[in-house]
Amino acid sequence: MHRARTLQPDERMRSTTILAVRRDAKVAIGGDGQVSLGPTVLKHEARKIHRLADGTVMCGFAGGAADAFALLDRLDTRLEHYKGNLRRAAVDLARDWRTDRVLRRLESVLVACSHDVTLMISGNGDVIEPDDGVIGIGSGGMYAAAAARALKSHTDQTPTQIVEHALHIAADICVYSNHKIHVETLD
């Protein structure tokens, strides 16, 4: 009898690239479209960026899709409870995610952006706001963030342009990312 192979947590977390860039009063978040299962590409054009709170918050995720959707639903509920205050909703979600016996099994990482804040939220209880307005997650997240920081400091590109260019750079380096880029913007 053949047993199904169980993916290790690092295999689930490495299979995407999500990047958020904030400049002046604009923020953009984008992701590649590749869905991988171990070394196999299953899908090329997945949408990993979703809007919450009636479109005022944008979120991207790396990790298990079902886990991420469960977390996005919970974040949306908290955003409604806190009247769109992303910081409060994120801290509340991270606390529950870390302490709740069911939620702590969820394996995903989120990036959430509103008009005034960009946050990375994890199941370890992390709620991190980057100093420079740039944050990347997933297997290509650090490549994309490095490219975005260089573009942000040496060009006058908009956040949308920076996200697009940086995600393409990451896709050239990371085998778990592709060039099917989707970007959302808040002005």
User: Please, are residues 27 and 115 in contact by the beta-carbon 8 Å criterion?
Assistant: yes
Give the pLDDT confidence score for residue 10 in this predicted structure: 47
Phi, psi of 144 (to 5 degrees): -65, -40
* Furthest CA-CA distance within the chain: 59
Give the pLDDT confidence score for residue 65 in this predicted structure: 85
Give the pLDDT confidence score for residue 112 in this predicted structure: 98
Strands 49-52 and 182-186: unpaired
Give the pLDDT confidence score for residue 98 in this predicted structure: 85
Which of 16, 17, 118, 160 is catalytic? The answer is 16
User: Please, are residues 60 and 20 in contact by the beta-carbon 8 Å criterion?
Assistant: yes
Tell me the two tokens of residue 140. 């290509």
pLDDT under 70 in the chain at which residues?
1-14
Q: Which residue has the tokens 């490095």?
A: 146
Phi, psi of 45 (to 5 degrees): -125, 45
**Which pTM does this prediction carry?**
0.91
- CA 100-101-103 angle, 5° bins: 65
CA-based nearest residue to 115, from 40, 155, 55: 55
Q: Is 118 considered catalytic here?
A: no
Q: How far is CA 86 from the centre of its chain?
A: 15
Give the pLDDT confidence score for residue 108 in this predicted structure: 85
What whole-number distance in Å separates Cα of residue 61 and Cα of residue 157?
24
Residue-range domains of the chain with CATH: 10-35+43-174 (3.60.20.10)
